[in-house]
Amino acid sequence: MYENFNLSDWPFRTAADENFASVWAGRAKTKEQLERLLKKMTLFPKSGLHVFWANFGMGKTHTLYHLKYCCSQTKGQIIPIYAVMPKRSTGFLELYREIVQAFLSTEMRDYLGRQLVDVGQNSKGASVALHPMFSKSPGVVRALLSMRNEDIELTTAAMQWLTAQPGLDAHSMKAIGVSYRIKTPEDAIYALSALINLAAFGGKQQRQVLLMIDEFQRVGELRPNIISQVNSSLHTVFNAHPTGLQLLLTFSFGKKENVDYLLSAELKSRAEPQTINLDVLSREEAVQFLSDLLGQFRINQNDTRSLYPFSQTAVSAMMMKIAQKKALTPRRIMLYANYVLSEYTLNTNDSIDEITESEMISLLNAPQLGDMDVDSENT
């Protein structure tokens, strides 16, 4: 707690931090787009494919974390799964592994276990593995049931099998009750579809699995045949779920138009007409962002100094300094504000007052700020 600044916590995170997922500052239009997307997912069962483009440093990953947090407030109506496109890939299997790792978090394993119980109660005595939703990948059920035994060796083997990791011996496969391996894109598609089916099963109204794949622009660094395989596999997974699946692909680069080169015609034809965009901020939007961010951490909410511990003129000077050479982005604003407030605190021995314009300008002239100010895709 930073009572001298009227702040309950340090507000500046220059890398995406899931612990701060509930925080949202500025960007009212994007907030409205997210709320509209959530409302649409809760009202209508139809599956959807969504494209999310962001310029560098605009807080794309934080936006996904925030969306995941909002899903957690829907009382199980929307099940969020967050995965990142691998930097290097030889095919769809690598992306499948990343997605399944998210399905196998402790929280999701508990949820899927409860879902299996519900499926069993609706199967009228028949084996859960024989349920139609698992017909093309019955091993998924066997693996999940093995994890529920709380046996470390069985759980490890089941997770290794489900994530298509090599090296699982025949004895371990027999122990968890599976007779085949997940080796091909087709195997991975069937297994992923089974997991999605299980996650979306039941409920008074259609549950939705929100599958968020971050950094999908990385697919552009792969060989053409691998790009085609990844696109085709996602298209097949999407087509297998006319209801209950929301697929969100994110892209981070300077030109929004480049999205068209990375998605197959089939995926583009499935995409919703309204995309989510995060572009650079105007000076007015930048000031509002900082004000909103600080406001999220106010101890005394009645404090009328919306930018404290910065003065209004100091913030104006900071935004002008940034805009002279760089784009105004949330990450960059937090980077500069974090540096200034940290240095000011370290250099001040007496009581701390508002940071003035002259103090701001003096601190912004530090050469190390330029070394820290680099664009990153992980923001």
Question: 45: domain CATH number?
Answer: 3.40.50.300
Same domain flag for 120 and 142: yes
For residue 219, count other CB atoms closer than 10 A to its CB.
21
Give the C-alpha separation, 10 to 309, whole Å: 12
Same domain flag for 195 and 311: no
How far from 8 is each of 5, 95, 296, 298, CA to CA, in Å? 9, 39, 9, 6
* pLDDT in the model for residue 352: 67
Q: Is residue 292 part of a domain?
A: yes
Structural domain including 330 reads 3-10+281-372
**Residue 311 φ then ψ, to 5°:** -80, 160
How far from 302 is each of 11, 298, 356, CA to CA, in Å? 18, 9, 22
Same domain flag for 247 and 305: no
Same domain flag for 332 and 300: yes
Q: Is residue 186 part of a domain?
A: yes
Q: What's the chain's length in residues?
A: 379
Asked if 53 contacts 73 with a C-beta cutoff of 8 angstroms, the reply is: no
Q: What crossing angle do the helices spanning 330-347 and 312-325 adopt, rounded to 10°? A: 130
Q: Is residue 123 part of a domain?
A: yes
Mean pLDDT of the chain: 90
Q: Is residue 160 part of a domain?
A: yes
Give the C-alpha separation, 254 to 72, whole Å: 31
- pLDDT surpasses 90 at 160: yes
Comparing 175-184, 214-223, 226-235, 346-355, the range with the smallest average pLDDT is 346-355
Q: Which residues contact 231 (CB under 8 A, 6 or more apart)?
A: 219, 263, 264, 266, 267
Smallest CA-to-CA distance from 212 within 89, 70, 12 is with 70
Q: What is the band of 373 on the pLDDT scale with cuts at 50, 70, 90?
A: low
| Chain-centre distance for alpha carbon 317 | 33
* pLDDT in the model for residue 242: 95
Mean pLDDT, range 90-119, rounded to an integer = 93
> Which residues are paired to 252 by β-bridges?
54
Same domain flag for 113 and 138: yes
Euclidean distance between the first and the last CA atom of the chain, given in angstroms as a whole number: 25
| Chain-centre distance for alpha carbon 199 | 18
Q: What angle do CA 18, 20, 7 make, to 5 degrees?
A: 155
Q: Identify which has the larger pLDDT, 291 or 373.
A: 291
* pLDDT in the model for residue 375: 57
Same domain flag for 111 and 175: yes
Number of domains forming the structure of the chain: 2
* pLDDT in the model for residue 371: 64
Q: Is residue 239 part of a domain?
A: yes
Q: What is the band of 120 on the pLDDT scale with cuts at 50, 70, 90?
A: confident
Q: pLDDT tens, 258-283?
A: 888 899 999 999 998 888 888 889 99
Same domain flag for 226 and 330: no
Highest mean pLDDT among 205-209, 279-283, 295-299: 295-299
Q: Identify which has the larger pLDDT, 306 or 377.
A: 306
Same domain flag for 273 and 291: no
